[in-house]
A and B are shown apart, each in its own frame.
Chain A
């Protein structure tokens, strides 16, 4: 069986939904037997979920205004070309 260190090197593969079945079974064998790695897998999944779940913050109004002003200038310049 894999050691914890070897398993953690392969953690990305374990979390990848497209990983091949043989690799998945091989890695699953370690997780099923190792409570520490089970918790690491679980909390890593939570970590990724919480990052994916957060909406992008609104851009500050002044930043947005400057962006649009710069774009308008660029578009106007192109229109004159």
Chain B
């Protein structure tokens, strides 16, 4: 019997994973094609270094292929490779930062201190005023300015759209820690993007 081409089936993750686990290299290749850009984006967001992100990308899929038999199909394949990628990316960060790197397991100051906030509405949609490339640069710079703990949580929750529980599991931290880091990250990014995208002449500042 002639096997059905993958393209004719659409993207059916569980079936592709099952076929890949039975030794079908083409099925694994399709999974890589589907997720490589997202894994590379995640690696860039965490490491902020192209060379490291490339290593993370490669290691993630090589390890996934190597340990495919151990993957339990009761969880999502994507969540599984994200966990591998996060581990690889954090190892890269630790290596680059040496002992100065703060472990994600350590408690962080999460109190919302008195900060000066920019309270100004945005000038329409940034998409109407800037090219995709310009927006991407602004967004990347804003993420890069966050501490690794915050940008990792933000990347997993708000960019890769993992749940709070999945994020906590991937990072080996508690759910409340994910929530507090996400809040800090979101507010910091809001602040930076508002400075960039606010309506001209609306230099209203407020102490909250």
Contacts and interface: CB of A to CB of B under 8 A. Distances in A.
Interface of A: 4-5, 8-9, 11-12, 36-37, 39-40, 42-44, 46-48, 50-60, 63-64, 66-67, 70-71, 74-75, 78-79
B159 to A, nearest CB: 6
Contacts, number: 108
Nearest to A55: B132
B57 interface: yes
B32 interface: yes
B208 A36 contact: yes
B41 interface: yes
16 contacts: A4-B208, A11-B187, A12-B182, A44-B190, A47-B193, A51-B139, A52-B159, A54-B136, A55-B132, A59-B36, A67-B36, A67-B57, A67-B58, A70-B62, A71-B62, A75-B25
Contacts of A11: 183, 186-187
Nearest to A67: B58
Contact of B112 (A8, A50, A51, A75): A8
Contact of A58 (B32, B37, B135, B158): B37
